Amino acid sequence: MKIISTKTHGILDYLLGIILIASPWIFGFADGSAAQWVPVILGIAALVYSLMTNYEFGVFKTISMKTHLTLDMISGVLLAVSPWLFGFSDVVSTPHVILGILEIGAAMMTKTSPSISKFTNGSHSHAM
């Protein structure tokens, strides 16, 4: 079910990017290991490809929303499995798994094109 608009998803993108970057310090695992760098790198990547997405909050609009959502899915899966993939599950895993699942869920529930308003392009009809 696609219940998240591209506009709402854009807001979530920038919030999640910032949360991912800050999560090692928020949750206390900023130790220079893969546990720290995986969410930081994925957060930076999310901000970069959000800026490049053709949606309401994109600046450069060079990638499609479908491509963006695919990147979100890949990032979410990588984040969720990273504690076991990179061998730090004995130190920390919960923030990675939860944020990864949230990213996957948002990608699965987001529409692939913006809603069109009847006032788009500045054209509206006037009754006479």
62-80: per-residue pLDDT in tens?
Answer: 999 999 999 999 999 999 9
Confidence of residue 114 (pLDDT cuts 50, 70, 90): confident
Confidence of residue 127 (pLDDT cuts 50, 70, 90): very low
Q: What is the pLDDT of residue 117?
A: 55
Q: What is the pLDDT of residue 115?
A: 76
- Percentage of the chain modeled with pLDDT above 90: 88
- Say if residues 23 and 99 touch (Cβ distance below 8 Å): yes
User: 3-class SS at 107?
Assistant: helix
Q: What is the mean pLDDT of residues 78-99?
A: 98
Residue 109, pLDDT above cutoff 80: yes
Residue 112, pLDDT above cutoff 60: yes
Q: What is the mean pLDDT of residues 15-28?
A: 98
Mean pLDDT over the full length of the chain: 92
Confidence of residue 126 (pLDDT cuts 50, 70, 90): very low
Residue 22, pLDDT above cutoff 90: yes
Q: What is the DSSP string of 1-55?
A: ---B-HHHHHHHHHHHHHHHHHHHHHTT--SSSHHHHHHHHHHHHHHHHHHTBSS
